[in-house]
Amino acid sequence: MVYWKGKGNAWDHEEKAMISFLVILILLLSNPPKVLVLTNGKVLTCRSYEVANGMVTLYMKDQSFSIPEKMVDWERSKKETIRRKAEQEQKALEKARAEARAAELEEEAEAKPKKPISFTQSDYKKIAKRTGRATTTGTTTVKYRKMGNTILVSAGINGKGPFDFVLDTGAAVTVISPDTAGSLSITPTQEQARLVGVAGEAINAHYGILREVALGNSKVFNLKAVIRGIPQLNDLQIVGLLGQDFLNHFVMSLDSAGQTLTLTPHGLGSVVSSEAIQDPRVVFEEFRSVAQALDGHYKRVVSLGGQRAGMAELGLVKEINGKISKLRTQIGKYRNTLEDFPVENLSPKQRENVEGFLNCYAHFNRILSELQRFAQQLGKAYSNPGAATVLSVLDRRRDGVNEAVRKFQDCQ
């Protein structure tokens, strides 16, 4: 027996299951198939049948045929009909209960507080190289919208917009519709993009350079995107896909509860803000502090007069050597970033800094190379101060640093 405990619209899931069951059952039994079991054991199913003049006429969907009435085992036909009816009722009930349970679980999931879901570069296979260069004023958080399971974001292109894009972490490249590209005067390049369609067919398209793609305060410049229409998106006023070639510049975090997207720059090597573009002389001061520290160790080696230094002093030199290696990596990435940096977005002073850094990069690199050689030789001098050539080589390494610094100053 079913007790209807609902108040107004507040029905529980068991009541919903029963309603669903009754609806399904009515649909199943409104015109149930007829079952006839023959004397030879064969079972025939038909839409309906008629008995007349010793013959049974069976009506199928698109045809009908007749058999002698004596070939039908009516008792077994009745039992088989009852059995199938009970089986259908049971299936209908199980389906209704499953639907009710699914609805219950969905409501429980909605009621629970949702934690942000974060994706970083380590969470996916690298399927796209970074194209263009990124700039940001820091961490950016923007709102996104849902369309089914699809995430939509509003992005600016070349300083115009916003335009709606699908945020597609599975797309290697960004795609923009031909109409939008045309309205922004984005000219297709000669380079062709070879894509694979849903059915596996080859699709040819052309690339176009997006001078600026902005999501909040996060921007990527000179992004090579595919110019191609996506019919499924055109009617929805969605202009394309924002792919991994944009997202690879950032650590991405999705907060499904607040429907926000946060982009955080990886670091100076991969992204750089316009505020971070420094006067080359400021960058040089980092090198100068390293050189002064090494010079202090040089004087210490000389003062020891051939005696072995302690482990603590040797450890300090190794630590400085490690810092030099990090500086070399950082300065190389910084140079790569500035080479393609859009100078039109910079102040005159910042443009001067970019030009000065790039012009003097070779000297920066030379200073770091000489500092590393100097540090390595200091390590040898601390470990084996009695060797005949240690101090003479150490003097040459020190002179090499001084010469590299002098050339840098000439560059200025």
Specify whether the backbone of 327 is left (phi greater than 0), alpha (psi in -120 to 50) or beta.
alpha
What is the C-alpha to C-alpha distance for residues 23 and 40, in angstroms, rounded to an integer? 37
Q: Write down the residue that tokens 């115009």 correspond to.
A: 160
What is the C-alpha to C-alpha distance for residues 342 and 346, in angstroms, rounded to an integer? 8
Residue 113 DSSP label = P
Q: Write down the residue that tokens 């079913």 correspond to.
A: 2
What is the C-alpha to C-alpha distance for residues 217 and 350, in angstroms, rounded to an integer? 19
Q: Write down the residue that tokens 């003479």 correspond to.
A: 392
What is the DSSP pairing of strand 64-68 with strand 218-227? unpaired
The domain spans of the chain are 13-111, 121-265, 277-411
**Pair 143, 259: CB distance under 8 Å:** yes
Adjacent-strand bridge partners of 210: 223
Token output for 200 = 């596996």
Q: What is the DSSP string of 128-178?
A: S---SEEE-SS-EEEE-EEETTEEEEEEEETTEEEEEEEE-TT-SS-EE-H
pLDDT, position 24:
55
Closest CA to 298 of 238, 385, 221: 385
pLDDT along the chain (412 residues), means of 10: 40 56 54 82 86 87 83 90 82 75 71 50 39 59 88 91 88 88 89 64 79 87 86 81 85 84 64 52 72 81 70 79 82 72 65 78 85 84 70 84 82 66
Closest CA to 408 of 355, 361, 365, 363: 363
Q: What backbone phi and psi angles, to 5 degrees, belong to 191?
A: -70, 130
Angle at 346 (CA atoms; ends 344, 347), nearest 5 degrees: 120
What is the C-alpha to C-alpha distance for residues 398 and 291, in angstroms, rounded to an integer? 9
Q: Write down the residue that tokens 């997202």 correspond to.
A: 247
Q: What is the DSSP string of 41-67?
A: S-EEEESEEEEETTEEEEE-SS-EEEE
What is the DSSP pairing of strand 218-227 with strand 175-176? parallel
Task: Please report how many Cα atoms fall inside a 13 Å half-sphere around the Cα of residue 174, on the Cβ side.
Answer: 29
pLDDT, position 13:
54
**Pair 36, 56: CB distance under 8 Å:** yes
Token output for 279 = 């006067």
Query: How many other C-beta atoms can be found within 10 angstroms of the C-beta atom of residue 297?
Result: 22
Give alpha helix (H) positions in 244-389.
Answer: 244-247, 280-304, 311-339, 348-383
**Distance between alpha carbon 72 and the CA centroid of its chain, in Å?**
66
What is the C-alpha to C-alpha distance for residues 183 and 340, in angstroms, rounded to an integer? 25
**Pair 181, 188: CB distance under 8 Å:** yes
What is the C-alpha to C-alpha distance for residues 94 and 88, in angstroms, rounded to an integer? 10
- The CATH class that applies to domain 121-265 reads mainly beta
